[in-house]
Copies of this chain bind each other. A is one copy, B any other.
Amino acid sequence: MREVAVIGAGMTRFGELWDLSFREIGIEAGFQALVDAKLSSHQLNAFYLGNMASGSLLEQEHIAPLVIDYAGLAGHHVGAIRVEAGGASGAVALHQGYLAVASGAYDYVVVGGAEKLTDVPDFTANRISGSTADQEWESVFGATLPGLWALVARRHMHDYGTTREQLAHVPVQAHAMGAKNPNAHFRNKITLETVLGAGPVAEPLGVFDCAPLSDGAAAVVLGPMDEAKKHQEIPIRIAASQVACDTMALQHRRELTTLEATVTAARQAFALAHRAPADVQVAEIDDSYSIAALVALEDLGFAEKGKSGALFAQGAFAPGARTVVNPSGGLKAQGRPFGAVGVAQAVEVVRQLRGQSGERQVPGARLGLTHNIGGTGATAVVHLFERVN
Contact = CB atoms under 8 A, between A and B. Distances in A.
A85 B65 contact: yes
A1 B103 contact: yes
Given A75-B260, A81-B85, A83-B82, A62 B102 contact: no
A60 B131 contact: yes
Given A244-B79, A246-B74, A66 B134 contact: yes
Given A79-B245, A103-B1, A132 B74 contact: no
Interface in A73-132: 74-75, 77-86, 92, 95-96, 99-100, 102-105, 127-128, 131-132
A81 B95 contact: yes
Contact of A99 (B82, B103, B375): B103
Contact of A59 (B96, B131, B252): B131
Interface size class of A (residues with CB under 8 A): 35 or more
A61 interface: yes
A68 B131 contact: no
A170 interface: no
A387 B68 CA distance: 35
What's the dominant secondary structure at chain A's contact region? mixed
Given A56-B56, A252-B69, A264 B77 contact: yes
B134 A245 contact: no
Nearest to A70: B248
Contact of A65 (B77, B81, B248): B248
A55 B243 contact: no
Contacts of A375: 62, 65
Contacts of A260: 74-75
A249 B46 CA distance: 20
A66 B246 contact: no
A61 B82 CA distance: 13
Interface in A200-232: none
A300 interface: no
Contact of A61 (B83, B84, B103): B84
A362 interface: no
Interface string A283-313: 0000000000000000000000000000000
A374 interface: yes
A62 B86 CA distance: 5
Given A59-B127, A66-B378, 18 more contacts: A1-B103, A1-B104, A56-B59, A56-B61, A62-B133, A62-B248, A64-B379, A69-B249, A69-B252, A74-B252, A74-B378, A75-B260, A77-B264, A79-B242, A81-B95, A81-B96, A96-B99, A102-B103
